[in-house]
């Protein structure tokens, strides 16, 4: 029997095992490929989405546990937070870009819960997102710029 999930404000019917990771539901069933597979174990953050506004690793979140949640992916984030996405580009945050969907999802959740984060707040909120290119300083700078615009 198909499951119904809410992704980016739309209800989708998904015919998959309830233990299927949300990452594969998003990518393979719904063709939302902005959410990336990284480590498959929830350590790198490349697959971060929002479940009811809270960052979650979609590789570790099952279809069953996502059923009654509002799921937001990177595809929707640009509509909800266009300035964040713009500042990310203006500050040349991405290099290879692979981790950036997860980085942006975590940054947006941080700014929604704490519009004036300190460096320590940023480091804490972003600590589960690995950037192999090492753009952490640019990430912090972009978050501070947006925070300054919010305040």
Q: Are 81 and 146 members of one domain? A: yes
The pLDDT value recorded for residue 1 is 65
Q: Are 57 and 91 members of one domain? A: no
Q: Are 98 and 115 members of one domain? A: yes
Span 8-32, pLDDT tens digits = 999 999 999 999 999 999 999 999 9
25: alpha, beta or left? (left if phi > 0; alpha if psi -120 to 50): alpha
Residue in the structure block whose two tokens are 């713009």: 86
* Number of domains the chain contains: 2
The pLDDT value recorded for residue 149 is 83
Contact yes or no for 45/130 (Cβ under 8 A)? yes
Using 70 as the pLDDT threshold, list the residues of the chain that sit under it: 1, 151
Structural domain of residue 56, as residue ranges? 3-76
Span 54-65, pLDDT tens digits = 999 999 999 999
Q: Are 58 and 105 members of one domain? A: no
The pLDDT value recorded for residue 3 is 83
Q: In angstroms, rounded to a whole number, what is the distance separating the alpha carbons of residues 148 and 34?
A: 28
The pLDDT value recorded for residue 38 is 94
- Judge residue 10's burial from the number of C-beta atoms within 10 Å of its C-beta, 0-12 exposed, 13-18 middle, 19 or more buried: exposed
134: alpha, beta or left? (left if phi > 0; alpha if psi -120 to 50): left
């Amino acid at each position: 029997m198909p499951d119904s999930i809410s992704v980016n404000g739309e209800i989708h019917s998904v015919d998959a095992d309830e233990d299927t990771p949300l990452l594969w539901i998003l990518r393979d069933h719904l063709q939302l490929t902005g959410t990336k597979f990284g480590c498959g174990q929830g350590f790198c953050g490349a697959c971060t989405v929002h479940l009811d506004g809270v960052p979650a690793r979609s590789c570790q979140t099952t279809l069953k546990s996502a059923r009654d949640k509002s799921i937001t992916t990177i595809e929707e984030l640009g509509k909800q937070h266009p300035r964040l996405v713009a500042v990310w580009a203006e500050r040349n945050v991405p290099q290879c870009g692979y981790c950036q969907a997860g980085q942006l999802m975590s940054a947006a959740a941080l700014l929604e819960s704490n519009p004036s984060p300190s460096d320590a707040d940023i480091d804490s909120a972003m600590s589960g997102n690995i950037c192999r290119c090492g753009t952490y300083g640019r990430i912090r700078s972009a978050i501070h710029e947006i925070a300054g615009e919010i305040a």
